[in-house]
């Protein structure tokens, strides 16, 4: 891919939710044999504080950002693909309770690649992952970020 660093960032900056720094750093490391792997290596090489900031940049599922329509276009479409824009009152309350419990336990929002599951799968994962320790859960959240980025990248390539 023969793009200037600026054009690379402009083309792929949306891949990481409100975190263009990942793509900016990756631009300086090009070329990559595998673009996704190169991008995720930037995440792996980042400090724990930067990794936490990346995870914290993600919205809560079926949360306030979905209600007040401040989600990115990508997140809006992804949450809709899992039916999170069509929750019953009971489902919404369950998501809200699990989001609150998760954030209280780990200090960051629950992240899952919603395009690879559905409402029931997301709720089950939220409940199951509440049993993780913080270190393991941060690693799981970053793995899920990688899945999200891979699908977003496939959409544009």
The confidence score (pLDDT) of residue 67 equals 60
Backbone angles phi, psi at 15, to 5 degrees: -60, -40
Average pLDDT over residues 144-155: 97
Q: Kindly state the tokens that stand for 27.
A: 């631009």
| Whole-number percent of the chain with pLDDT over 70 | 94
pLDDT at 64 over 70: no
Average model confidence (pLDDT) across the chain? 92
The confidence score (pLDDT) of residue 74 equals 87
Catalytic residue among 18, 36, 58, 96: 58
Q: Kindly state the tokens that stand for 104.
A: 């209280």
Average pLDDT over residues 124-149: 97
pLDDT at 149 over 90: yes
Q: Tell me the domains of the chain and their CATH numbers.
A: 5-156 (1.10.3330.10)
Average pLDDT over residues 60-86: 75
| Whole-number percent of the chain with pLDDT over 90 | 76
Concerning whether 58 is annotated as a catalytic residue, the answer is: yes
pLDDT at 2 over 80: no
pLDDT at 15 over 70: yes
pLDDT in tens, 78-90: 888 888 888 888 9
Q: Which residues contact 92 (CB under 8 A, 6 or more apart)?
A: 62
The confidence score (pLDDT) of residue 62 equals 78
- Give, in order, the Cα–Cα distances in Å from 116 to each of 39, 41, 50, 151: 20, 22, 26, 10
Q: pTM for the full model?
A: 0.91
């Amino acid at each position: 891919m023969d793009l200037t660093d600026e054009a690379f960032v402009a083309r792929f900056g949306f891949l990481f939710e409100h975190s263009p720094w990942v793509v900016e750093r990756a631009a300086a490391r090009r070329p990559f044999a595998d673009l996704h792997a190169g991008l995720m290596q930037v995440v792996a090489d980042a400090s724990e504080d930067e990794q936490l900031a990346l995870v914290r940049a993600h919205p809560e599922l079926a949360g306030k950002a979905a209600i007040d329509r401040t989600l990115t276009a990508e997140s809006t479409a992804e949450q809709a693909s899992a039916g999170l824009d069509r929750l019953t009152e009971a489902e919404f309350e369950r998501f809200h309770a699990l989001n609150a419990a998760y954030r209280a336990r780990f200090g960051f929002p629950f992240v899952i690649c919603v395009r690879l599951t559905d409402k029931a799968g997301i709720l089950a994962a939220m409940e199951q992952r509440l049993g993780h320790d913080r270190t393991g859960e941060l690693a799981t959240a970053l793995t899920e970020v990688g899945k999200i980025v891979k699908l977003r990248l496939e959409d544009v390539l």
